[in-house]
């Protein structure tokens, strides 16, 4: 079988999703998990876009040694130089140069002629090649570029030293048959292209990113650019897990494989969802909550008799345990550690001890602790470890005849216990106002969302909130069987992210 290279751009294009910004520690955590997943190329960021992005790309390049680390650069000398400065310490560095190619972009965005773009391509690919011999080139909006000119710009990039040619469907405009035809024509009309890796980068504006990517693979592309959970600009990118599992499940059709450890897919999906604050829809293929659940009696009967009747994939192959070990207040440390391992979590002893204590507290409140409850405990533990202010205690008084009142006790960065109280229009409003009186960071709450993690009246409630400060959005999440406590945790989590970012900037 031939191999398809998996190029993950979660940390670059995925972060461009509105409200999906990540701090340095979160990016490094995801990068390490992507390496564990077996991703061939990690596009770590756009180094010139901000000092923070430069630092995160540089740190990932130094820390992650198993994957190619790629930095994005416009066809601009400063961009190329900055990208190299960020990735030069990588074991396997790559510079990804892009420039607009469609007349729509040239006329309304770049304000340059086709000849000027060709010269930019020639100069900037050559400049990047002077730093490293692994150069990727992308003609942005290729799917809406006049074909003859597209062939020309690709030829110029090859002559200047590009080793990977990426064909972006930047605005998700293509239909699979059309995009496959474009790839086919590129192979037929660009000399020496068979000596290079041809890639594609598809967006999901029409819901066709995965279909277009798979059609391009069928027509000869051997690198796929994608993101975890399909996050990205606007409607997102092609979903890594869907592409990888399509190639794996239908190896009889594609006769191809990848180096992805598919057992790490579910854990990676949950990590990205937790860090970005973007929930995975229940009916999402591969990693959605309903992906391996069966409601219909006919389906249930078939799966019980022979899973393959209605399941084309074993859930274990993507890291979802299919066993039903029940955990409760009588369960011990060994049972919890076993379940964590099945879910893909290998915690150090200190972290495990904190999760175990939280598990016992939860088990006293719930009869049975589900997998999603356990995942929530792990996520809550990770949020706690990286915090600036810690929420120690919260007490609420409210009712249809009373004035909602909240009192909170928090631990400050220097270890002091700080207490305050506030009135509000409701219990959550009062809690947030009391927290604001302690933390004293101006911000605007832009989104507040509560959902139940599992079924039942004793379910853990998970809260997502987004706040805005100086035109930057920060996402916070919190979970608890008490939704007011979960709300306070989420708000403090968002404030901690804001404070960490400001402290780094200073």
pLDDT per residue as tens, the chain (506 positions): 899 999 999 999 999 888 777 888 889 999 999 999 999 999 999 999 999 899 999 999 999 999 999 999 999 999 999 999 999 999 999 999 999 999 999 999 888 999 999 999 999 999 999 999 999 999 999 999 999 999 999 999 999 999 999 999 999 999 999 999 999 999 999 999 999 999 999 999 999 999 999 999 999 999 999 999 999 999 999 999 999 999 999 999 999 999 999 999 999 999 999 888 898 998 999 998 788 765 555 555 564 566 677 678 888 899 887 654 557 777 788 888 887 887 778 888 888 988 888 888 888 877 778 777 888 788 777 666 567 899 999 999 998 888 999 999 999 988 999 999 999 999 999 999 999 999 999 999 999 999 887 777 778 898 999 999 988 888 888 999 899 999 999 999 899 988 887 777 77
What is the number of helices (H) and of strands (E) in the chain?
Answer: 17, 16
The single-letter DSSP state of residue 366 is -
Domain 387-505 listed as CATH 3.20.20.80: no
Residues near 88 by beta carbon (within 8 Å), at least 6 away in sequence:
61, 131
Helix, strand or coil, per DSSP, at residue 314: coil
- State the Cα torsion 246-251-255-257 to the nearest 10°: 70
Paired tokens of 361 = 């507290």
Residues near 504 by beta carbon (within 8 Å), at least 6 away in sequence:
23, 24, 52
Paired tokens of 407 = 């009192």
Strand boundaries in 339-469, DSSP class E: 390-397, 405-411, 417-423, 444-452, 461-469
3-state helix, strand, coil in the chain (%, to 5): 45, 20, 30
Helix, strand or coil, per DSSP, at residue 421: strand
d(CA 249, CA 257): 10
d(CA 505, CA 500): 9
Residue 303 · residue 309 · CB < 8 Å: yes
Count the Cβ atoms, other than its own, within 10 Å of residue 163. 18
- State the Cα torsion 231-232-233-234 to the nearest 10°: -10
- pTM of the full structure: 0.80
The CATH superfamily assigned to 2-276 is Aldolase class I (3.20.20.70)
Paired tokens of 167 = 């064909």
Cross-strand bridge partners of residue 167: 200
């Amino acid at each position: 079988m031939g191999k398809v290279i998996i190029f993950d751009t979660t940390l670059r294009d995925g972060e461009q999703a509105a409200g999906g910004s990540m701090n340095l520690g979160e990016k490094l955590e995801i990068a390490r998990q992507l390496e564990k997943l077996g991703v061939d190329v990690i596009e770590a960021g756009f180094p010139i876009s901000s000092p923070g992005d430069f630092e995160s790309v540089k740190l990932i390049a130094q820390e992650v040694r198993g994957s190619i680390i790629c930095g994005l650069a416009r066809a601009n000398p400063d961009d190329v130089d900055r990208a190299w400065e960020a990735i030069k310490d990588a074991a396997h560095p790559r510079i990804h140069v892009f420039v607009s190619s469609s007349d729509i972009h040239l006329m309304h965005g770049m304000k340059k002629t086709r000849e000027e773009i060709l010269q930019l391509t020639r100069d900037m690919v050559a400049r990047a090649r002077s730093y490293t011999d692994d150069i990727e080139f992308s003609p942005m909006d290729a799917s809406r570029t006049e074909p003859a000119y597209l062939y020309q710009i690709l030829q110029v990039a090859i002559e200047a030293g590009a080793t990977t040619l990426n064909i972006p469907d930047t605005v998700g405009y293509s239909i699979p048959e059309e995009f496959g035809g474009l790839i086919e024509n590129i192979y037929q009309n660009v000399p020496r292209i068979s000596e290079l890796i041809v890639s594609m980068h598809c967006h999901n504006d029409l819901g066709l990113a995965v279909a277009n990517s798979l059609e391009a693979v069928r027509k000869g592309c051997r690198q796929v650019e994608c993101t975890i959970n399909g996050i990205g600009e606007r409607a997102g990118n092609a979903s890594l897990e869907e592409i990888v599992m399509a190639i794996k499940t239908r190896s009889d059709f594609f006769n191809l494989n990848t180096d992805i450890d598919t057992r790490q897919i579910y854990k990676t999906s949950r990590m990205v969802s937790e860090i970005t604050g973007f929930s995975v829809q229940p009916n999402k293929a591969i990693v959605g909550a309903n992906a391996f659940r069966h409601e219909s009696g006919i389906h249930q009967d078939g799966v019980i008799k022979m899973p393959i009747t209605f399941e084309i994939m074993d859930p274990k192959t993507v890291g979802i345990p299919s066993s039903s070990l029940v955990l409760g207040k009588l369960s011990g440390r060994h049972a919890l550690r076993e379940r964590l391992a099945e879910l893909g979590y290998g915690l150090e002893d200190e972290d495990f001890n904190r999760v175990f204590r939280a598990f016992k507290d939860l088990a006293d409140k719930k009869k049975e602790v589900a997998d999603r409850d356990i995942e929530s405990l792990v996520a809550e533990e990770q949020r706690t470890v990286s915090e600036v202010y810690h929420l120690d205690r919260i007490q609420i008084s409210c009712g249809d005849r009373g004035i909602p009142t909240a009192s909170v006790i928090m631990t400050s960065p220097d270890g002091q216990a700080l207490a305050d109280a506030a009135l509000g229009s409701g219990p959550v409003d009062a809690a947030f106002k009391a927290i604001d009186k302690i933390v004293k960071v101006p911000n605007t709450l832009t989104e507040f969302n509560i959902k139940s993690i599992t079924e039942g009246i004793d379910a853990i409630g998970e809260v997502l909130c987004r706040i805005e400060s100086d035109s930057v959005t920060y996402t916070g999440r919190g979970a608890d069987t008490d939704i007011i406590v979960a709300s306070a945790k989420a708000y403090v989590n968002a404030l901690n992210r804001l404070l960490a970012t400001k402290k780094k900037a200073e």
